[in-house]
Structure 1
């Protein structure tokens, strides 16, 4: 048999990875899908061609029974659906329902809490990461991929390349960061990452950014479950409270659907700040 790498692999997982690369899936999704395909084959204890719809149903039910989140179950569902339908051309997902997602409200920080978190950090690099997460509404995967060529100081814009769904977008660059970015541009080449790891070439890891955020929130004594995404949530909510159109916020965040952005209307105080609480009307 011709073993050229250009021929599709007979290994089920490798074959799927090859197909996903051709379709320009992100490395994170490829890794996730590969995990679930390996998992289902071990669970069913048979080859890919022998897996039945009942095996898949039992596997997904097992994930639910071990208290996996709806997002985890649905990710597994998407991985299995892609593999068995797109790679093996088998159609048995019609009667398999997706898990209903929990409708949790995002953790939003007040402006004072955001300031405390940023002020709690002395390291200039770490402070800049926090300011970009909040000031540009970035996902953690986006902040670590910023290259110097993506920063337009003159127009005060940041170009987010290959964000979620492999989509490019523009977002606003805070005035407070323009001088910092201009200085970095004199020290780095256009293709260099803004934030690098120990080798000063590779991008900083998501784990490192998460650690920076968690440590800053702990030092600032914020009594909320703060993550990097909390700063993105806060960016969107504060814009909404300042009267910015939700359509503009959708574009800045890179949401494909307006419904995704509308979650911030549920945590914004814009609709409630003019309401007097009935308890406050009592002469107590």
Structure 2
């Protein structure tokens, strides 16, 4: 890889780049390839590069570096590989990416405003582990184990699964739901107990729940996923564990949530408090 960077450097020297820019671009490429040192070149996709830059941009001390790195990487690929990258987060990377997060009080209002047990349980399932809409739609009866308090999420080809914790708080609601609806295969079937729920219908009753709860929020069903992620980090969950729960393939996607974490100073403890000092 070093010889490619040297070729890139020679290209920069022949162009109208000053020494400071050349040094910055060289460093950006070295850091970039160090980050992806375990990846074959063919496996470094546009999406991975976009997530890498997004991770840099979310660090308040690295926003300028993220913009400069994006320019350097795009130029490097054009010069060395004759490839034009299609990146979501290069150039003018957004200073602040905004996601909607519901507070604990707002979630309390939301869940208690829903009277339909099927709708209520579905929304609580989404928040329980930050599920995607397609994951809740495809959930099967056999995937929900109240005895062991687990929920199994299969990917589309069922070759990779995630076994997640099912909150014991849901058990009573699950039994109530089963007694009323008696789902056979699909845990949350469509109308009439047959087929799959549509994503649109789920979104519609989520919006109704917001209205009934008196919440004037620009939120979608995915807001429950975002809220779970942020609240989990606020409670001290390790970001790598959160990555596995959410099913992210790249840690940079998960670290985006760090910027929305609000930690109260009175809840923080110094490591010194764990040491008994004599005298």
Aligned residue number for residue 233 of structure 1: 226
Residue deviations 1:158-199, cap 9 Å, x none?
Answer: 00011699742122211121233345567344xx11111124
Q: CA RMSD in A?
A: 2.4
Give yes or no for the alignment of 1:156 onto 2:144: no
Give yes or no for the alignment of 1:100 onto 2:88: yes
Aligned residue number for residue 142 of structure 1: 135
After TM superposition, give the deviation of residue 150 of structure 1 in Å.
Answer: 0.3
Q: TM-score, normalised by structure 2?
A: 0.59
Distance 1:113 1:164 in 2: 36
Figure out how many residues of one structure are paired with residues of the other and give that number.
Answer: 179
Aligned residue number for residue 261 of structure 1: 254
After TM superposition, give the deviation of residue 124 of structure 1 in Å.
Answer: 0.5
**C-alpha distance 98-220 of structure 1, shift in aligned 2 (>3 A):** same
- Counterpart of 1:174 (choices 167, 174, 179) is 167
Report if aligned partners of 2:154, 2:162 keep a CA contact under 8 Å in 1: yes
**C-alpha distance 209-136 of structure 1, shift in aligned 2 (>3 A):** same
Matches within 5 A, 1:8-23: none
Gaps of at least 5 residues in structure 1 are 1-92, 276-284
Distance 1:159 1:120 in 2: 28
Q: TM-score, normalised by structure 1?
A: 0.58
SS in 1 for 2:152: strand
Residue deviations 1:40-99, cap 9 Å, x none?
Answer: xxxxxxxxxxxxxxxxxxxxxxxxxxxxxxxxxxxxxxxxxxxxxxxxxxxxx9533314
- Counterpart of 1:243 (choices 215, 236, 242) is 236
Residue deviations 1:113-164, cap 9 Å, x none?
Answer: 1111111111111101111111121111111111100011122110001169
Residue deviations 1:227-261, cap 9 Å, x none?
Answer: 11100111111111111111111111111111111
SS in 2 for 1:97: coil
Aligned residue number for residue 189 of structure 2: 196
**C-alpha distance 195-188 of structure 1, shift in aligned 2 (>3 A):** closer
Aligned residue number for residue 265 of structure 2: 274
Report if aligned partners of 2:117, 2:177 keep a CA contact under 8 Å in 1: no
